Chain A
Amino acid sequence: SQTIHQWPATLVQPVGSPLSLECTVEGTSNPNLYWYRQAAGRGLQLLFYSVGIGQISSEVPQNLSASRPQDRQFILSSKKLLLSDSGFYLCAWSETGGRGDTQYFGPGTRLTVL
């Protein structure tokens, strides 16, 4: 069966510091990968998606970037964090395919920027 891991689970960082959040998927090959952000009291916002190694698409302009160095690894980064980057970050994966793709979510990382 497939599993998805995220770490760290929680992170407290000062403004202006760098960020690296990691997501890995097991039990599948060539998955689509996604990064979402969930701000307090709000729904989910898709930040990035990737359909293959080195292929990253951004949904919204922002202070963050994403990379996919390996087939089942997805990294969310920032060079300098802003207060507005605080939130709950969720990684998800889906099988490559059509409209019926189902996205499966990881446990999330709670980021607090002070």
Chain B
Amino acid sequence: AQSVTQPDIHITVSEGASLELRCNYSYGATPYLFWYVQSPGQGLQLLLKYFSGDTLVQGIKGFEAEFKRSQSSFNLRKPSVHWSDAAEYFCAVGAGFSGGYNKLIFGAGTRLAVHP
């Protein structure tokens, strides 16, 4: 069955430090992968997505993610974290097109805290 695992529930980094959020997926075919960010009390905003081609994907707000098929991973990175990056981050996989829509399977999320 399709699934997404985000191993880290909480991560704390210092402002200016680099960041890597882990995401592992289970999917039989070529996955369509997404990262979303959710600020407290807000909806989800799309950071980036991978469908095909270059395995290093650039997104908004200085984020990037690398698709590694051999490791079934799609980790999110940022070279220098800003205090405004404190939020919850969700990884998702497009689990297949059926019934007219693309079902997304979400991970449980990683909550990022940023220390000044």
Report if A44-B101 is in contact (Cβ < 8 Å); known contacts: A104-B46, A108-B42. Answer: no
* Mask: chain A, 30-64; 1 = CB below 8 Å from B; 0 = not: 00101000000011101001010000010000000
- A43 x B109 contact (CB < 8 A): yes
**A43–B108 CB distance below 8 A:** yes
Is the pair B49, A107 in contact by a Cβ cutoff of 8 Å?
no
Contacts A43-B90, A43-B106, A43-B108 known; A106 to B43 CB distance under 8 Å? Answer: yes
Which residues of B in the span 28-73 have a Cβ within 8 Å of any Cβ on A?
32, 34, 36, 41-46, 49, 51
In the complex, chain B residues whose CB is within 8 Å of the CB of A92: 44
Closest CB-CB distance, A13 to chain B, in whole Å? 18
**Which B residue's beta carbon lies closest to that of A32?**
B101
Chain A interfacial residues counted at CB < 8 A: 27
Beta-carbon contacts of A88-103 to B below 8 Å, as 1s and 0s?
A: 0010101011111111
Q: How many A-B residue pairs have CB under 8 A?
A: 61
Closest to A110 in B: B41
Q: What sequence of 0s and 1s flags, for each residue 92-103 of chain B, a beta carbon within 8 Å of any chain A beta carbon?
A: 001011011111
Chain B interface, DSSP helix/strand/loop, else mixed: strand
Taking a contact as CB atoms under 8 Å apart, the answer to whether B100 and A96 are in contact is yes
Say whether B46 contacts A46, CB under 8 Å: no
Please give the number of chain B residues whose Cβ is less than 8 angstroms from any Cβ of chain A in the complex: 25
Q: B49 touching A101 by the CB < 8 A rule? A: no
A102 touches B101 (CB 8 A): no
Please name all residues of chain B whose beta carbon is closer than 8 Å to the beta carbon of A57 when the two chains form the complex. Answer: 99
Measured in the bound complex, the distance between the Cα atoms of B106 and A34 in whole Å is 14
Q: Which residues of B contact A100 (CB under 8 A)?
A: 32, 51, 94, 102
**Given A102-B34, A106-B43, 13 more contacts at CB 8 Å?**
A43-B106, A43-B107, A51-B99, A51-B101, A96-B101, A98-B97, A98-B102, A99-B32, A101-B94, A101-B101, A102-B46, A105-B43, A108-B42
